[in-house]
Structures are given as structure tokens and as C-alpha cells.
């Protein structure tokens, strides 16, 4: 199996054509709908954010919960809202506390958020005892409680009335509460967040006379908890965004202000990446009260103070996270053959329990496989796991339930407790029984939805894109694979760490944060492509559009370098070996265990793992093929040693960019023939025509030709007869043509035969 740098799922062309005709949208929008599974009237209706939320009494036990709360109000009982410590839990707590105060409870309602480290997740026994001792008559949980049957039993024995509102997966034994409001008990399941369930409860209590501030707060929890942004969730977030943009929630307005952002242009993405992490930071660091208070207060001064506190906690969380990530790269377990397990379990001593979930999510993305991170403390550990598409994570973990003393979560995320055991053993057990789709994902790079040519104005595309918002889980914003030609490039930032690209015949600037080093390889006229989001950039109240680059593909950075013939007599610490094929990479790694092969037949996540180990000094010799993309190891090697003839001067200079400034590039002159291979693999029109005929005849087309055909969505097995697409719209074809210019005008021989001194050859 081969890695794919960029890939997208095949879709039924007829479905796209039908969507264009039925819905009157552009072809790209129709394709986007189809890729998001929007087919038919009901699916389209689920995207209509202008509709009201469904009747809250449709949720199981909602009528009982309403009756119990109303009885508590009339009988003068005290009510305590018991929430979880994450962003969904604190927003759900704020929604219900505000709602009960509006209902008339006033000071008779308070809240309680457990400490992540001392009490853990869920309704705990000590908290039930405390509520009883404090004279609480009714305890209402939000975003938790379904997996706490023992605590429910204790509440019943103490005469403490208990209402559970939650949205998490149901355990085998349900809590014996007076009311259990959980959408999981109903078919079809309404995938509300904990905050969404709390809002529905308030709607039922207030007969839908709910102030907009509660929609704004509930929208935060809905986005932060990454529930599907369809149906009720979509409608809730659209209405909540309007409230937030209108500055109806002073605490969130203060968070934006502290971060130097304008809440008037807030988006659903902002809620997930700006506000959510700051609300989460309080609970992750131990005490979530500041996150609840910032949502409950209507005092601008208090809101500002709490926002500053949350910002500081978030910075502290990020520092801890970075240290844990660095350690985790060194602790990844491997199987007997030195490969990563399909399900990776990473464990460390005294790691911060509040950050393990974030770290698990990061490694899941990097490694392209389900990942769990465990923090050991003595004989026990607490873990957090993140799944991949095609895997019901909580059910997969339940198949190995004997490993855990406590387990709960969603299809995509889970938390657990367990006795100390080997991470290798856990990885081995949890790697069994994974669906084939999960294993295939390990070879997939970056998924995109729509391929576009960077031409003309971006305004028509943005206008249509803006009409599809809000975006979120199961209706993620489209990821564009943009192809264009460099007109100008520059760098930005105090350390020139960011890239800015102007593209030929296109009015949208492309910005790559953290991609500044790649500017060294880009020249006017170079073809370039990148995975990007189209987004507005606001500056002094003026809006412009920009492509925010996520992944850049184009000419590699280059550096002129003197040559040394032969190879070093004594190898320096870090060596990059350049050979002439993937087969030679594998052979070299097989001969010498010290040499690690950057081999495209390895899963994409393992290549990322190899790069990270090399940067950290855990790997000191890497073999690469000159015909494949270079690893992300700029300024890494003490010596780059070519064991084959470089294809051209450009290849030589690209390899030099992987050497440290004081490093050396060697040509061992062990093999020749790069020009023969160049001619054989040249991606010309004639070559592509031959490949196409071979493919039509059922013969295997060579990979360079097949890659161009795939990029153009051409396949002889399913293409409409007579369809044609211009070759120039293929980035790979344009790159090949650019390389052929280098082959012709700056071949490697020019510096070997008679021009050594000009190029500084020793």
C-alpha cells in the first residue's frame, strides 16, 4: 500500500449532477453536499439552521424533570446543579443555573464542579454526601451522571432527590434517578451536547421564553464538545452565534477582548479554537470555577478578571502540553518488527491528567491511528483515548473491558481508569479487531473535498461558502486543495516564520503560519498547491479574503552547497543517505539497523514518527530516495551523502537544505544512470497517452502517470467516454514540466565536467 499525500473519497458523479439540478447550487457546492452525506430532502432539512429547536418534551423523562424542579420551587427547596469540569460541563452548568434563577430560585440554586484530580469524572459519592449535608433538596446533574449508579443509590438512601441530565453513552447499569434525561435513551438519538440538553430543560421550564444569552452559552458547549453540527445542534449554534456577536454574554466578550479579537465577527470555528480551550483550561488545571463564573456574571469588570485568569491558565496548560508531547514521542511502543501498533497507547509517569486528552488527540492526528494516553500515578493510571473515523471507540474499548476499572465516553473519545500495566501489552490487545477502514487510514495523508484552480476573484466562492455556515462535526468546512502559480512570495513575523504568497491571476492571498522556511524554494513561475481553508481576514474593520495554508506542496527549499567527492572517513553524528529508489532505501535499512528508511511504503504516521525521532536525536541516520519527497528535516544533517547520481542541480540543492549550515554534501559516485531513469519516468504527453492505453487494456500504468490521472479524476474504468481535461490543470504535470526544465538547463553534469572550481568543489 502506498501513501497518499492528498486524497479524497470517490463520489457518485450522478449524485452531484442531480444535486445541482434539484437544489440550484454550483457544482462545487453540490459535490460538497454529497461528500458530507447530504442526499435527499430530510438530510437537507437537517442543515436548515433557521428552524426552531424541536420540542424539549420529546426527550426521555423531560416531563418528570420539569415536574420535580417545579415542585422544588413551590416547596422552597434548595437546588444544586452538578456539572462536569470540561467546556461542555461548565457551559451546561451556567445555562441551567441562569435558567433556574430566571425561574425564581434566586439564591436557592448553586452549583458544584468536581475537581478533576481529587474527584474525577462523574457524580461521586463524596459530592452526594456533601449535598445532603448542605441541605440540598434536589440535585440536578448536567453533562454527567449516567455512569454513576452507586452515587444515585446513595442519594436515594439519603432521601436526596436526583435528576440526571446527560448525553454520554449509557452503561449496562443505569442510575436509579427520579428522572434520567439522556438522548441516548431515545431512537433516533438526538446527538445534543450536555449544554444542549441543559438548554432543552430550560426551554421546557420557561415554556420556551429563553433569553438569547443562554443560546450563546449553549453554543459554546455544543461546538467545544464536537457533537454533530446538524439538526438541533446546528440551529442552536446559529442562534447562539448571533447572541455572542451581539455581545449578549459579557464573559465571552471579555475573552475575545483579552485575546485582541473582535467578537462581532465570531464564527463557530472561533468557539472551538479560541473560547473552548480557555474554558477547558480551568478544569484541566484543577478548578473549573473561573470558567463557570465568567459565564454567569453580567459585570464587565468581573468578566474581564475571569477572562485574564482563563488566559493565564491556558498558557500554563500549553506549556505542560508541549513538555508532555516531547516525552510522548520518546515513549511510543513498537511491535517486534519495529513498527507502531495500529492502536497506539502511550504512558508516562506523573503526567498531568488534565492534558492527556489533548495529547491523545494530537497523536491521533499525527499517527493516523486510534491513540490513548495514560498518566501513571503509583499503581493506578488515568487515560484518555481518541478514535478515528470508522471506529466506535467506546464499543471497541468495551470489548477489552477487563483492562479497565472505569470506562466511559463517546464513539470518538473515551476516558478510563486502570491498574498499572505494560503499554506494549495494552497496545497489542487494543490493536486487535480494528476495522479494515481504520487500518487503511494509516496510509492516507491529508483529506480534501474540493480541488480548485487559483484563478480570478475569490468573492463568488466566499459568498456561497458563507451561506453554508456554521460548520462543525459531520458538516466540517470544506477543505480546498488549491493549485496555482507563484507570482510573488514573502515572509512575515518577528523571525520571518510565516509565509505569504501572491498567486498569478488570483486576488486571494495565501498565508502559511509556520511555513516561512519553505519560501527559500519558491520562485516566480513555480507551480504550487496547498491544502487550505478560505476565510476572512479582518484588519482595522476591513475584510479581505485569504487562503490559510494547512499543508504546502511545492518546490522544496534549496541551498547552494560545495561538493566533496567520496564519503566521510568518519561518519558524523547525523547522516542523510540519498539513494535512487524506494527499493534501495529498504535494502539499506535492512543491511544496517542504525539506518532508518524514509520509505513511502510505510504508513504516513510512521514517517511523521521517524521525522520526530530524528529531530530529537533518537535516530541519527536516515536513508531517502531522490525520487520521492524529502523528509521534513531542514537543517538536520551533519552530512548528506549521495550514493547515486543526482538527477539535476535542483535535487542537489534541495538535499543541501537538509544539511546544517556547517554541514557537508558528498557525492560518493557509486552509481550513475539518473538520466536514463529521468527519460523513462518523464511525465510527457506521449508517456501519459501510453500509460492511459495500458491502463485501458488492464495493464498496470506506471505510478507517475497514474498519479496525474488520479489528480485529474480520470480512470478508464469509470470515466465518461470522450471526457477531456487539460493537462495544465494538473499540479503534478506542471511540477514535472518544471523539473524537466531543470534537467535540460541545469543538469548535474554541468558542475562535474569542467566546472568544479566555479561551484566550489573540493
Which helix (DSSP H) or strand (DSSP E) does residue 578 occupy?
strand 575-579
Nearest Cα to Cα of residue 703 among 644, 625, 633, 651? 625
Q: Mark 55-83 as b/e (b = at least 16 C-beta within 10 Å).
A: ebeebbbbeebbebbeebbeeebbbbbbb
Same domain, 252 and 125: yes
Distance CA 659, CA 638 (A): 6
> What confidence tens digit (pLDDT) does each residue in 657-704 have?
999 988 999 998 766 665 556 665 666 777 777 777 777 777 665 566
- Which of 103, 281, 91 lies closest to 192 in space, CA to CA? 91
Position 328 in a domain: no
Is 757's pLDDT higher than 90? no
Q: pLDDT tens-digit profile of 579-588?
A: 988 899 999 9
305 and 174: one domain? yes
Residues 430 and 483 in one domain: no
Are residues 644 and 601 both part of a single domain?
Answer: yes
Q: What is the CATH number of the domain that holds 483?
A: 2.40.50.460
Do the domain assignments include residue 756?
Answer: no
Mean pLDDT, the chain, rounded, equals: 90
Would strands 542-553 and 527-539 be described as parallel, antiparallel, or unpaired?
antiparallel
pLDDT at 561: 83
Residue 35 maps to a domain: yes
Q: Does one domain contain both 513 and 613?
A: no
- 105 and 241 in one domain? yes
For 140, the enclosing helix (H) or strand (E) is strand 138-141
Packing angle of the helix pair 125-133, 149-158 (nearest 10 deg): 20
Output the CA–CA distances (angstroms, integers) from residue 388 to 375, 428, 606, in the order listed.
Answer: 21, 18, 16
Which residues share a beta bridge with 484? 528
| Same domain membership, residue 364 and residue 270 | no
Nearest by Cα to 392 from 364, 371, 365, 412: 412
User: Taking a C-beta distance cutoff of 8 angstroms, is the pair 397, 407 a contact?
Assistant: yes
What CATH number corresponds to the domain at position 346?
3.10.310.30
Pairing of strands 371-377, 344-349: parallel
Query: Contact 111/82 with Cβ under 8 angstroms?
Result: yes
Same domain for 670 and 686, yes or no, is no
DSSP 747: B
pLDDT at 370: 97
Residue 135, SS3 per DSSP: coil
Q: Are residues 475 and 500 in the same domain?
A: yes
The answer to whether position 51 is within a domain reads no
Q: Among 327-331, 653-657, 693-697, where is mean pLDDT lowest?
A: 693-697
Domain boundary among 535, 553, 571: 553
Asked if residue 283 belongs to a domain, the reply is yes
Which residue, 267, 296, 312, sits at the end of a domain?
312
pLDDT digits (tens, 9 = 90+) for 462-517: 999 998 999 998 899 999 999 999 999 999 988 899 999 999 999 999 999 999 99
Are 182 and 300 in the same domain? yes
Q: Does 329 map to a domain? A: no
For 209-268, write each residue's pLDDT tens digit: 999 999 999 999 999 998 999 999 999 999 999 999 999 999 999 999 999 999 999 999
pLDDT score for 45: 81
Number of other residues whose CB lies within 10 A of the CB of residue 383: 26
321 in a structural domain = no
Q: Quick one: 274 and 251 in the same domain?
A: yes
Q: Which three cell numbers stand for residue 441?
A: 487510514
Residues 19 and 32 sit within 8 Å (Cβ to Cβ): no
Count of domains observed in the chain? 6
Q: How confident is the model at residue 114, as a pLDDT?
A: 94
What would the pLDDT profile of 542-573 be if each residue is shown by its tens digit?
A: 889 999 999 999 889 998 888 888 889 899 99
Q: What percent of the chain has pLDDT over 70?
A: 94
Is residue 478 situated within a structural domain?
yes
Residue 290, domain extent: 56-312
Q: Tell me: do 99 and 63 sit in the same domain.
A: yes
Q: pLDDT by residue (tens digit) across 596-634?
A: 999 988 899 999 999 999 999 999 999 999 988 899 999
Amino acid at each position: 500500500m502506498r501513501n497518499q499525500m492528498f486524497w479524497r473519497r470517490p463520489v457518485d458523479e450522478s449524485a452531484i449532477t442531480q444535486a445541482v439540478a434539484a437544489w440550484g447550487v454550483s457544482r462545487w457546492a453540490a459535490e460538497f453536499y454529497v461528500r458530507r452525506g447530504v442526499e435527499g430532502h430530510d438530510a437537507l432539512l437537517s442543515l436548515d439552521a433557521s428552524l426552531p429547536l424541536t420540542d424539549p418534551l420529546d426527550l426521555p423523562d423531560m416531563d418528570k424533570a420539569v415536574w420535580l424542579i417545579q415542585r422544588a420551587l413551590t416547596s422552597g427547596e434548595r437546588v444544586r446543579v452538578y456539572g462536569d469540569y470540561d467546556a461542555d460541563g461548565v457551559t451546561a452548568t451556567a445555562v441551567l443555573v441562569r435558567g433556574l434563577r430566571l425561574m425564581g430560585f434566586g439564591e436557592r440554586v448553586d452549583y458544584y464542579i468536581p475537581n478533576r484530580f481529587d474527584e474525577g469524572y462523574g457524580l461521586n459519592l463524596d459530592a452526594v454526601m456533601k449535598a445532603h449535608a448542605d441541605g440540598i433538596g434536589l440535585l440536578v446533574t448536567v453533562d454527567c451522571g449516567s455512569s454513576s449508579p452507586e452515587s444515585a443509590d446513595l442519594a436515594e438512601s439519603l432521601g436526596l432527590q436526583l435528576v440526571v441530565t446527560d448525553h454520554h453513552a449509557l452503561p449496562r447499569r443505569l442510575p436509579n434517578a427520579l428522572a434520567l434525561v439522556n438522548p441516548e435513551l431515545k431512537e433516533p438519538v438526538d446527538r445534543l451536547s450536555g449544554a444542549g440538553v441543559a438548554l432543552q430543560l430550560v426551554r421546557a421550564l420557561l415554556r420556551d421564553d429563553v433569553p438569547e444569552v443562554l443560546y450563546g452559552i449553549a453554543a459554546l458547549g455544543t461546538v467545544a464538545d464536537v457533537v454533530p453540527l446538524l439538526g438541533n445542534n446546528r440551529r442552536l449554534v446559529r442562534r447562539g452565534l448571533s447572541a455572542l456577536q451581539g455581545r449578549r454574554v459579557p464573559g465571552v466578550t471579555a475573552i475575545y477582548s483579552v485575546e485582541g479579537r473582535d467578537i462581532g465577527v465570531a464564527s463557530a470555528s472561533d468557539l472551538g479554537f479560541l473560547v473552548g480551550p480557555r474554558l477547558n483550561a480551568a478544569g484541566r488545571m484543577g478548578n473549573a470555577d473561573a470558567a463557570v463564573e465568567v459565564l454567569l456574571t453580567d459585570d464587565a469588570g468581573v468578566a474581564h478578571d475571569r477572562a485574564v485568569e482563563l488566559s493565564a491558565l491556558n498558557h500554563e496548560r500549553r506549556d505542560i502540553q508541549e513538555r508532555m508531547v516531547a516525552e510522548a514521542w520518546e515513549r511510543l511502543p513498537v511491535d517486534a518488527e519495529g513498527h507502531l501498533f495500529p492502536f497506539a497507547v502511550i504512558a508516562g509517569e506523573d503526567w498531568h491528567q488534565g492534558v492527556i486528552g489533548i495529547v491523545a488527540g494530537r497523536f491521533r492526528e499525527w499517527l493516523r491511528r486510534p491513540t490513548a494516553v495514560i498518566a501513571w500515578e503509583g499503581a493506578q493510571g488515568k487515560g484518555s483515548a481518541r478514535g478515528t473515523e470508522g471506529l466506535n471507540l467506546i464499543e471497541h474499548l468495551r470489548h477489552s473491558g477487563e483492562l479497565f476499572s472505569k470506562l466511559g465516553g463517546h464513539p470518538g473519545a473515551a476516558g478510563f481508569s486502570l491498574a498499572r500495566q505494560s503499554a506494549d501489552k495494552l497496545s497489542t490487545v487494543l490493536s486487535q479487531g480494528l476495522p479494515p477502514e481504520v487500518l487503511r487510514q494509516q496510509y492516507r495523508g491529508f483529506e480534501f473535498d474540493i480541488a480548485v484552480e487559483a484563478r480570478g476573484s475569490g468573492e463568488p466562492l466566499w459568498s456561497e461558502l458563507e451561506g453554508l455556515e456554521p460548520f462543525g462535526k459531520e458538516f466540517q468546512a470544506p477543505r480546498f486543495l488549491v493549485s496555482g502559480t507563484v507570482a510573488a512570495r514573502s515572509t512575515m513575523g518577528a523571525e520571518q516564520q510565516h509565509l505569504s504568497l501572491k498567486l498569478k491571476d488570483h486576488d486571494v492571498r495565501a498565508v502559511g503560519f509556520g511555513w516561512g522556511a519553505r519560501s527559500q524554494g519558491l520562485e516566480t513561475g513555480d507551480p504550487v498547491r496547498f491544502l487550505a481553508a478560505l476565510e476572512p481576514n479582518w484588519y482595522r474593520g476591513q475584510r479581505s479574503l485569504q487562503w490559510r495554508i494547512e499543508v504546502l506542496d511545492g518546490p522544496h527549499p534549496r541551498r547552494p552547497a560545495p561538493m566533496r567527492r567520496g564519503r566521510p572517513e568518519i561518519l558524523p553524528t547525523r547522516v542523510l543517505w540519498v539513494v535512487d529508489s524506494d527499493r534501495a532505501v529498504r535494502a539499506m535499512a535492512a543491511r544496517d539497523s542504525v539506518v532508518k528508511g524514509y520509505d513511502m511504503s510505510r504508513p504516513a504516521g510512521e514517517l511523521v514518527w521517524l521525522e520526530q525521532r530524528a529531530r530529537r536525536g533518537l535516530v541519527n541516520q536516515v536513508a531517502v530516495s531522490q525520487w520521492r519527497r524529502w523528509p521534513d528535516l531542514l537543517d538536520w544533517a551533519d552530512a548528506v551523502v549521495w550514493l547515486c547520481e543526482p538527477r539535476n542541480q535542483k535535487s542537489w540543492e534541495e538535499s543541501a537544505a537538509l544539511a546544517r549550515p556547517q554541514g557537508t554534501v558528498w557525492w560518493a559516485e557509486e552509481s550513475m544512470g539518473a538520466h536514463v531513469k529521468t527519460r523513462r519516468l518523464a511525465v510527457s504527453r506521449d508517456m501519459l497517452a501510453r500509460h492511459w492505453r495500458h491502463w485501458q487494456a488492464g495493464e498496470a500504468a506506471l505510478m507517475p502517470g497514474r498519479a496525474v490521472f488520479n489528480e485529474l479524476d480520470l480512470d478508464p474504468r469509470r470515466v465518461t467516454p470522450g471526457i477531456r481535461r487539460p493537462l495544465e490543470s494538473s499540479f503534478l504535470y506542471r511540477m514535472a514540466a518544471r523539473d524537466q526544465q531543470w534537467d535540460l538547463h541545469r543538469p548535474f553534469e554541468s558542475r562535474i565536467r569542467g566546472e568544479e572550481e566555479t561551484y566550489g568543489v573540493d
